[in-house]
């Protein structure tokens, strides 16, 4: 039996229900939704019924539920979603054609990386990320770029928290990570060498918006033994990120000048 509902608003209960869906659990029954959101079956049924009518959830023939297309329609209006992707995709396609490796575009949401677009070839190195998925800031190329340009309080919180280790190469020492972030800001590019999987290395650069703040990060994720070395890829990644920044209205990118924080 599910315990009594906690004192939460209806909006919070509704969001808790939607948050119950994950990549590993894309389809849930009514009782599974209630348990995940810590709601009674009666409350769950009432909210789910409203969500189905609105289109946020869809009911399968088995009686289970999955997320509805209406949510995607609403999410597509987010300025860091489709508009950013539309500006970036032509550049990402050009970068893919020159590398035939994974090309990823990501933004920061709180203490996480959120991937908004990815291009990958049949022979591209495997990655642990997906479009719409989240990942830690401290290990990937895009994450290092976004963390390096995040507000100071975000950096402090990340560095003071648990820094997960995926491989023996993952940087988990806060002092060393601070040095890495300083270098990212100085050079305008981040390299994550086998920090997530031992067969991949990523090179990333910042994408700037109209006010010249970093709004996203672009990366190439390639085989660690690829003929393309990280050093060889860096100019192309930086140029591609700068091109997207120009499309988004970045004054420094249009003028070819160094941005306000001094990174290239």
141: in domain:
yes
Question: Closest Cα partner for 196 from 109, 106, 125, 94?
Answer: 125
217-258 confidence digits (pLDDT tens): 999 999 988 888 999 999 999 999 999 999 988 877 766 666
- Here the CATH number for the domain that contains residue 209 is 3.30.450.40
The yes-or-no verdict on residue 259 having pLDDT over 70 is no
Domain co-membership, 227 together with 132: yes
Residues 140 and 184 in one domain: yes
- How many distinct structural domains can be found in the chain? 2
159 has a pLDDT exceeding 60:
yes
Q: Is residue 59 part of a domain?
A: yes
61: number of Cβ within 10 Å = 5
Q: Which two tokens stand for residue 10?
A: 């209806």
Q: Looking at the structure, tell me whether residues 70 and 191 fall in a common domain.
A: no
Does pTM top 0.75 for this prediction?
A: no
Judge whether residue 47 has pLDDT over 90: yes
The distance of Cα 82 from the centroid of its chain, to the nearest Å, equals: 14
Q: pLDDT tier at 1 (50, 70, 90 boundaries)?
A: very low
pLDDT of residue 133: 83
The per-residue pLDDT of the chain, averaged, comes to: 88
Q: Dump pLDDT digits (tens) for 168-185.
A: 999 999 999 999 999 999
Question: Does residue 5 lie within any of the structural domains?
Answer: no
Say yes or no: 117 and 65 in one domain. Answer: no
Residue of 116, 115, 107, 108 lying closest to 85 (CA atoms): 116
Measured CA to CA, the distance from residue 64 to residue 205 in angstroms comes to 42
The stretches of 81-229 forming alpha helices (DSSP H) are 82-99, 141-148, 152-160, 174-187
CB 145 within 8 A of CB 182: no
């Amino acid at each position: 039996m599910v315990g009594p509902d906690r004192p939460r608003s209806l909006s919070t209960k509704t969001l808790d229900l939607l948050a119950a869906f994950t990549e590993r659990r894309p389809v849930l029954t009514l009782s599974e939704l209630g348990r995940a959101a810590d709601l009674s079956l009666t409350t769950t049924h009432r909210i789910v019924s409203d969500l189905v009518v609105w289109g946020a959830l869809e009911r399968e023939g088995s009686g289970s539920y999955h997320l509805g297309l209406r949510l995607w329609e609403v999410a597509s209006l987010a300025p860091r979603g489709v508009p950013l992707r539309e500006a970036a995709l032509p550049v990402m396609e050009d970068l893919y054609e020159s590398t035939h490796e994974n090309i990823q575009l990501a933004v920061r949401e709180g203490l996480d990386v959120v991937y908004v677009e990815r291009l990958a070839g049949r022979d591209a190195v495997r990655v642990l990320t997906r479009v719409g998925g989240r990942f830690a800031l401290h290990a990937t190329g895009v994450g290092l770029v976004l963390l390096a340009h995040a507000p100071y309080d975000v950096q402090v919180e990340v560095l003071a928290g648990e820094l997960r280790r995926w491989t023996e190469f993952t940087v988990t020492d806060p002092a060393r990570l601070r040095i890495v972030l300083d270098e990212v800001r100085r050079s305008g590019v981040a390299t994550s060498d086998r920090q997530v999987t031992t067969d991949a290395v990523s090179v990333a650069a910042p994408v700037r918006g109209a006010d010249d703040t970093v709004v996203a990060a672009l990366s190439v994720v390639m085989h660690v033994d690829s003929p393309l070395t990280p050093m060889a890829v860096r100019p192309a990644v930086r140029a591609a990120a700068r091109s997207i920044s120009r499309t988004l209205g970045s004054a420094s990118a249009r003028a070819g000048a160094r941005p306000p924080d001094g990174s290239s």
